[in-house]
Structure formats: structure tokens, C-alpha cells
């Protein structure tokens, strides 16, 4: 049996079969980069098993674990759901979410270029589209990611949200056009296809990029979050 704590990859959860597969493959990619690491999946919403049940089960077996949020910013699910799940389980700690991280901004840039957008064109505006959260810490994380992307983008980079936070993505797209953009591209700041990505096609942009997964860099970020949580635990 592995002596390393179990990596609990905790995703939001989705009904989208492609989204489910990509999240499962992310955990497998992390295992491939770190042979011998035991990984298991948990979810905060929509699909089982819940992070609470997974953490409680591992604790009952006496297994140490690190819960890594497969979430791009720190909102309610990170600070309440996941924090609550690990609070009562000795030997289990929570890592910080995947974003913000310069590697995620690099994946976003690649997705924009793949979609035919030109980083050097000042007339092309980007709306970074996140799922959204009522937690101001989550909004700050998304804005930090937009700032990272802006370093590699000649045109303006602004933010829009699928729910809870403002502005909604269609409003952000309209604002970019009103500010003089010749072309508006929505950069999907989502790990995988699902409910929020499906809505982006109706936001009025010229192009919508593919989600972040699959990409080996995201598995590397996942492992860094795991290592960071272990180092903080000491």
C-alpha cells in the first residue's frame, strides 16, 4: 500500500458525459506523472460520491488524504464544502484550488490561438468567462487570471460570469463591443464541457474557445497543489 496520502481530486460535478470523462482522465494523468500515487475522485455537487463521504471513508480506514479542489477559483465550494469535509477528519488536509496559476493562463492562450484569435491584434477583445460565484474571493481569483492573460494579449481582457457574479458573459461581450472591439472572443475558463460551457454559445461573441482540459499542464498544477498542502502541513 502507498505510504503517500491519497490525493482526493474534488470536482464540481457535471451531468455532461464528456465533462465527466475529462475530469476522470485528469486524475489519471496526475497518477501517470507521479507513479505510486493513489488518487480517488469526489464531487461537491450533481454527482456522487460527495467529498464528505470520501473523506469520512478514508479517515475511517486510517488513511491520510489531501483534497485538491479541481476548481479554478476559491469560492463557496472550496471555503465551505471542502473545508467542512476535512475539518472533522484527522490526517486530511485541503489544498488550494487550481487557479489562479500562470500555467492555466498559458493553456487559455493556446485555446485562444487554436480558435483563430490573434494575441497581437489590439482590436480583438477577450472576455474571460468563468462559472461565477457570490464569493468575492472567487471573483478576485478570476480577475487575477485575466491579469495573467492580459500580459500576453494586445487587446483588452475583461471578465464575465455564468452565474452569481457580475457582469454576466453576454453583458461583458456587449461592453467589449461598445468599447470599440472589432472582434470579441470568449475564453472559456472552465475545465470541461457542461452546463456553463453550453451557455457560452449564446453570449454574442464571434468565437468561443474550448475548455481547458485535456492538457498535461493542468495535471502538473494538480500535483503542485497536493505537494503544497503536504508541505504546509509539515
* Confidence grade of residue 223 (pLDDT, cut at 50, 70, 90): very high
The pLDDT > 70 percentage for the chain reads 99
Residues 67 and 114 in one domain: no
- Residue 224 buriedness (CB in 10 A; 0-12 / 13-18 / 19+): middle
Same domain, 197 and 110: yes
Q: How far apart are CA 162 and CA 216, in angstroms?
A: 26
Q: What is the pLDDT of residue 3?
A: 78
- In a shared domain, residues 107 and 195: yes
**pLDDT at residue 184, rounded to an integer:** 98
Write down the pLDDT at residue 7: 97
Q: Are both 67 and 24 inside the same structural domain?
A: yes
Same domain membership, residue 116 and residue 71: no
Q: What is the mean pLDDT of residues 7-30?
A: 93
Do residues 163 and 147 both lie within one domain? yes
What pLDDT is attached to residue 89?
A: 87
Whether 151 is in a domain gets the answer: yes
Strand partners, 215: none
Q: Average pLDDT in the 83-98 region?
A: 93
85 and 150 part of one domain: no
Residue-averaged pLDDT of the chain: 95
The runs of H, that is alpha helices, within 34-101 are 51-60, 76, 83-87
Residue span of the structural domain in which 144 resides:
102-208
Q: What is the pLDDT of residue 88?
A: 82
Which pLDDT band holds residue 2 (cuts at 50, 70, 90)?
low
Q: What is the pTM of this model?
A: 0.94
Q: In this structure, are 176 and 203 located in the same domain? A: yes
- For residue 161, give the DSSP letter: E
Say yes or no: 114 and 66 in one domain. Answer: no
Joined together, the cell numbers standing for residue 84 give 467542512
Radius of gyration of the chain (CA): 18
Is 110 in the same domain as 179? Answer: yes
> Would the pLDDT of 1 be above 90?
no
**Mean pLDDT throughout 111-122?**
98
| CATH number of the domain where residue 112 is located | 3.40.50.1400
How many domains does one find in the chain? 2
The residue among 126, 90, 94 whose CA lies nearest residue 111 is 126
Sheet with strand 6-11: strands edge to edge: 39-43, 6-11, 65-69, 92-94
**Cα–chain-centroid distance for residue 30?**
15
Please give the Cα distance from 177 to 158 (Å, whole number): 12
Confirm whether 20 is domain-assigned: yes
Whether residue 1 lies inside any domain: the answer is no
Q: Give mean pLDDT, residues 137-157.
A: 97
Each residue's pLDDT tens digit, 160-189:
999 989 999 999 999 999 999 999 999 999
Q: Note whether residue 219 is domain-resident.
A: yes
Amino acid at each position: 500500500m502507498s505510504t503517500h496520502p491519497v490525493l482526493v481530486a474534488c470536482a464540481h460535478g457535471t451531468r455532461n458525459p464528456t465533462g465527466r470523462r475529462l475530469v476522470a482522465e485528469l486524475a489519471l494523468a496526475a497518477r501517470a506523472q507521479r507513479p505510486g500515487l493513489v488518487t480517488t475522485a469526489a464531487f461537491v455537487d450533481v454527482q456522487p460520491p460527495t467529498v464528505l463521504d470520501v473523506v469520512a471513508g478514508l479517515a475511517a480506514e486510517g488513511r491520510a488524504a489531501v483534497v485538491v479542489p479541481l476548481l479554478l477559483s476559491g469560492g463557496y465550494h472550496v471555503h465551505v464544502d471542502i473545508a467542512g469535509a476535512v475539518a472533522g477528519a484527522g490526517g486530511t488536509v485541503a489544498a488550494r484550488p487550481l487557479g489562479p496559476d500562470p500555467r492555466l493562463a498559458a493553456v487559455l492562450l493556446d485555446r485562444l490561438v487554436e480558435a483563430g484569435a490573434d494575441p497581437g491584434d489590439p482590436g480583438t477583445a477577450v472576455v474571460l468567462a468563468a462559472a461565477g460565484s457570490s464569493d468575492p474571493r472567487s471573483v478576485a481569483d478570476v480577475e487575477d487570471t485575466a491579469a495573467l492573460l492580459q500580459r500576453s494579449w494586445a487587446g483588452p481582457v475583461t471578465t464575465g460570469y455564468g452565474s452569481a457574479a457580475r457582469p454576466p458573459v453576454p453583458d461583458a461581450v456587449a461592453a467589449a463591443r461598445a468599447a470599440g472591439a472589432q472582434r470579441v472572443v470568449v475564453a472559456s475558463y472552465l475545465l470541461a464541457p457542461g452546463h456553463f460551457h453550453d451557455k457560452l454559445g449564446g453570449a454574442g461573441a464571434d468565437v468561443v474557445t474550448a475548455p481547458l482540459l485535456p492538457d498535461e499542464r493542468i495535471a502538473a498544477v494538480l500535483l503542485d497543489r497536493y505537494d503544497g498542502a503536504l508541505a504546509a502541513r509539515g
